[in-house]
Amino acid sequence: MASPLFDLLNNPVVNEIISTIFRIYLSKLTIYQRFLKYIYQNSQYINDSTRNIDLPTKIDIPS
């Protein structure tokens, strides 16, 4: 006797849904990895370009 999970996974519709979810996930994963690689490769440039920015540490709000 097959288990209910086995029956569910052998359903062609369920199989197609799971395949679609993984295709979408993997395509977004590639984009995310490319973004992280870009940030990593340009981190020195980003650090150098923001090193001497003088940002206020306190905002004076008039009462």
**pLDDT (0 to 100) of residue 49:** 67
Model's pTM, two decimal places?
0.41
Q: How far is CA 8 from CA 11, 15, 17, 26, 41, in A?
A: 5, 9, 12, 23, 45
**pLDDT (0 to 100) of residue 40:** 83
pLDDT digits (tens, 9 = 90+) for 2-60: 677 777 778 888 889 999 999 988 888 888 888 888 888 877 776 666 667 666 666 66
**pLDDT (0 to 100) of residue 57:** 67
**pLDDT (0 to 100) of residue 41:** 81
